[in-house]
Amino acid sequence: MYHYTESGLDNVWLVNGYNVEVIDGEEYVSFEDADQLHQVIGRSLAEKPSFIGAEVRFLRKELGMSQRVLADFLGVSEQTVSLWERGSNVPDAEARLLKALYLSHVDGNVQVGNLLERIIELDRKEQERFVFQDTECGWKMAA
């Protein structure tokens, strides 16, 4: 078996699907369909009840996000994501959001990502006063 440390995870081993070549005394390893392998790893992580730091980093990188962007999606600070990646516990609510974000990404379901982007946009708006009016179509926010 091959210890797949290239994933950034210490607990991933491959039974097959890899080739080892020695060229000029150096050992080189190649992998069959590494993208699909990473999706299977990611799905396995998303099925876990909790995450360790390297797993958060793996999912973030698979999503193609910086710590800052992931922090925005999860409603936390960039420093918080950095702390998680270095081993701090990820709270259940944020872990669930990360799972939903990852699974929607690999399944091609853009609705979850779009919803989270909309929430981020709304979080950036600060309103001190809410004004509503009753219209023929029912209550609405006044312009």
pLDDT confidence tier of residue 125, bands split at 50, 70 and 90: confident
Q: What confidence tens digit (pLDDT) does each residue in 74-124 have?
A: 989 999 999 999 999 999 999 999 999 999 989 887 787 788 778 777 777
Residue 52 lies in a domain: yes
Residue 135 lies in a domain: no
Q: What range defines the domain where residue 36 resides? A: 2-126
Residue 37 lies in a domain: yes
Residue 81 lies in a domain: yes
CA angle 76, 79, 80 (to 5 degrees): 50
Task: Specify the pTM.
Answer: 0.78
Task: Give the number of C-alpha atoms closer than 13 A to the C-alpha of residue 105, restricted to the C-beta side.
Answer: 19
Residue 133 lies in a domain: no
Continuous segment of H or E residues that includes residue 53: helix 53-62
Closest to 62 (Cα-Cα) out of 96, 129, 112, 54: 54
Mean pLDDT of 38-43: 96
Q: What is the total count of domains within the chain?
A: 1
Q: How far is CA 43 from CA 58, 79, 89, 108, 131, in A?
A: 11, 25, 20, 14, 44
Residue 138 lies in a domain: no
Residue 28 lies in a domain: yes
CA angle 78, 104, 107 (to 5 degrees): 140
